[in-house]
Structure 1
């Protein structure tokens, strides 16, 4: 893969809810099928800090928080991530991502604050003109040391994804690739005060508690998207 962007993702929250595969299937574009683990599809809320986002050769990069709602799919080139939204607190970053990767990025006002006990509070309020309103306010806290994910595990299914798919406004399907070291994750607690990401994307809030993990972060590179 020829690198287009390099960046670092830090203080990553993974919160995933199991849902019926047919619920996800009804929302996917042609050319994509639901990917499942032990019969379940998953909707994931993933929040993190993006740091030093730089086009190839640029000496200085952008840094801002991001929050996305995603699911997992299989396409003609293999398994990957399908994003329903990616909210970010940077006008330039949102415009860049929409133009280069055709991803559904939206402007949002965000705050990510550390506490003395190691917890992080992540707050987001979408401000993108013409987009459905969306809010998120939660605190997450790692409760152990980070360890490599095991092959074939649920954690590997939810995080070890090196491809994403996206649909353009005219209905064309594209794929993109990323590269990074394998994830190292720790158990974590999550306290949610407000979360309307599901409703903003046409879902009812899933029942039950999410599967929650935390990562201190890793370095990531991304290449250009290609039409499927």
Structure 2
């Protein structure tokens, strides 16, 4: 996989607010005493099984809502939801990887440096989830390295989800460090929080932009 043209839109919340939505088996991870919810739009480019040439991959725009957990000393991501184009891919991710994917109509267009991302969830029986935003890299530098917020939300190599049967699943991922810059962002609509049982945060988000990295993920395992 090659995740491209990402926005990391990160909101601080009280830890108890986010912890109440996690499976009991997972421990919330915090930064400066806060839990963090991140909305991450991007395009998953050249998606394909291992060993299949890149030219046979497909580009699928995606949108996820995530938080951060620490499990047995391993900093990890927990996905509340993932919206994606492509019915076959969504069904495959749900069936074989136990991921909370939802079918959505998504457009992700890049004009110059500006990205336009529009998500409208159309998954049968699912709560509505709409997201409309534009974003681009901004001038300046992002402080990175151990102990920074950028490192906290991006340098994680395992993700967890809760399967429909209530079991907790995880996959390991490998990727280079994320190249990051500040982001100029306009969010016009965002109902992802409400779709996942959260009130809209009153806090101000911190935004990072990345042109992307290549990612490989292991098979899903039960914890």
1:79 pairs with one of 69, 75, 86: 75
TM-score (norm 1): 0.93
1:119 aligns with 2:111: no
Deviates more, 1:9-18 or 1:67-76: 67-76
Structure 1's 147 and 166: CA in aligned 2 closer, same or farther, altered over 3 A? same
1:181 aligns with 2:176: yes
Kindly report which structure 2 residues correspond to 1:95-134, keeping only aligned pairs within 5 A, or say none: 95-116=91-112, 118-134=113-129
1:38 pairs with one of 12, 32, 39: 32
How large is the Cα RMSD of the aligned pairs? 1.5
Please give the alpha-carbon distance, in whole angstroms, between the structure 2 residues aligned to 1:62 and 1:99: 19
Structure 1's 100 and 76: CA in aligned 2 closer, same or farther, altered over 3 A? farther
Deviation of the 1:77 alpha carbon: 6.0
1:64 aligns with 2:60: yes
CA displacement 1:71-119 (0-9 Å, x = unmatched): 0012236221111110001112111211222110000001111234x21
Cα contact 2:181–2:208 (8 A) shared by 1: yes
Deviates more, 1:56-65 or 1:12-21: 56-65
Please give the alpha-carbon distance, in whole angstroms, between the structure 2 residues aligned to 1:198 and 1:51: 26
1:158 aligns with 2:153: yes
1:10 aligns with 2:4: yes
Cα contact 1:71–1:83 (8 A) shared by 2: yes
TM-score (norm 2): 0.95
Deviation of the 1:147 alpha carbon: 6.7
Which 4+ residue blocks in structure 1 deviate beyond 2 angstroms? 144-149
Deviation of the 1:148 alpha carbon: 8.2
1:191 aligns with 2:201: no
1:47 pairs with one of 29, 41, 49: 41
Aligned residues: 221
Q: Secondary structure at the match of 2:213?
A: strand
Deviation of the 1:63 alpha carbon: 1.2
CA displacement 1:26-74 (0-9 Å, x = unmatched): 0111210110011000000001010011102223112110000010012
